[in-house]
Amino acid sequence: MLLYKFRSFDGYSMEMLQRGALWVASPSQMNDPFDCKFDVIAGYHAELEDEFYAFLLLPHLSMIWRELHNKEDMFTGNYMGMKRKKVRELYYAINRAKSGRDKRNVLVRYLGTDGGDNLQTFETWKANVERDIDKIGFCSLCETVDNLLLWAHYAASHTGYALEFEIGPHHQSIDRLQQVRYTDDYPLMAFNELNLTSTIVLDEKGKAYSQRSLDFTGAWARKLVGVKSSHWAYEREWRYLTPEGRREVPYPFPLKAIYFGMRTPADKIKLAIAAIGSPEVKKYVMTPLNRQFGVGFAEYSE
């Protein structure tokens, strides 16, 4: 399989060609403000918010239950340093609360600044998830080198270039490739898909607090970055995923050729060829087709 990376000549192009590097962007750096948007659905519970608060409160409720059934000294203080009488009072107050949000609010009142501020609302959680998503990195590649729109949009109106990479079926980096699916709807995410976990941890002073973590490895990360609006279908895009964005990475696949646009200046072509250095990388120039809107390519010669 061959994939292509379109680029314009900017202040970093020659240096990146010399280093054999690609830029890995984060979602907020993409030209589409809808990149990596998603909708949340309930997986186990009838209501989405109830499922969220069930995940959020589970470690607290587990610790409260263990504390109430501890046969040791009744002032053990194993749950947030509370005496057992207050833990029992908290337990019944939570049980009286109707909704998951109400249960969360009860816990916040009892914990105060000793952990209550870590129990986020559903709205705050979703905003934080969107912020965490922006740490993901990916590099966009395309299946075709002869699309007029790709040359216009990503190679500065045919004044840039396109790199051709060869991806073998057993290449070590092929598992990081994700083909983009185009649709009119956001991808749907369930809490159990996202692997939302919540644990009780101790800070430097030995105080317990609630900590959530999000696992963006595996299937959900691919689902997240592998969906775009159907308006972008002409790109026929694949994405190379990395754990974090906003950085350079070495070419993940062998560079086989470079294609220059129909308007790429001759001096830029010579500088780019010198920057690549390798005579094994083939060089081509895009050429217009006869009697129709389209481009082909021919071998470059000085």
pLDDT in tens, 65-94: 888 877 665 445 567 778 888 888 999 999
Q: Residue 131 has what pLDDT?
A: 83
Helix pair angle (84-96, 100-111), 10° resolution: 160
pLDDT band per the 50, 70, 90 thresholds, residue 236: very high
Integer Cα distance of 120 and 87 in angstroms: 21
Integer Cα distance of 180 and 238 in angstroms: 6
**Mean pLDDT, range 155-170, rounded to an integer:** 96
Mean residue pLDDT of the chain comes to 86
Rounded to two decimals, what is the model's pTM? 0.81
**Helix, strand or coil, per DSSP, at residue 78:** coil
The more confident residue out of 202 and 16 is 16
Position 66: which residue type? R
User: Which of 35-49, 69-83, 281-295 is most confident?
Assistant: 281-295
Tell the burial category of 201 from Cβ atoms under 10 Å away from its Cβ (0-12, 13-18, 19+): exposed
Integer Cα distance of 211 and 202 in angstroms: 10
Pick the range with the lowest mean pLDDT from 27-41, 108-122, 234-248, 264-278.
108-122
What pLDDT, in 10s, does the model give residues 251-262?
Answer: 999 999 999 999
Helix, strand, coil percent content, the chain, rounded in steps of 5:
35, 25, 40
Enclosing H/E stretch for 189: strand 188-190
In this structure, are residues 149 and 234 in contact, taking their beta carbons and an 8 Å threshold? yes
Place of tokens 């609006």: 229
pLDDT band per the 50, 70, 90 thresholds, residue 135: confident
Integer Cα distance of 242 and 216 in angstroms: 11
Pick the range with the lowest mean pLDDT from 52-56, 75-79, 81-85, 182-186.
75-79
Q: Work out the percent of the chain whose per-residue pLDDT is above 70.
A: 84
Helix pair angle (122-133, 48-68), 10° resolution: 100
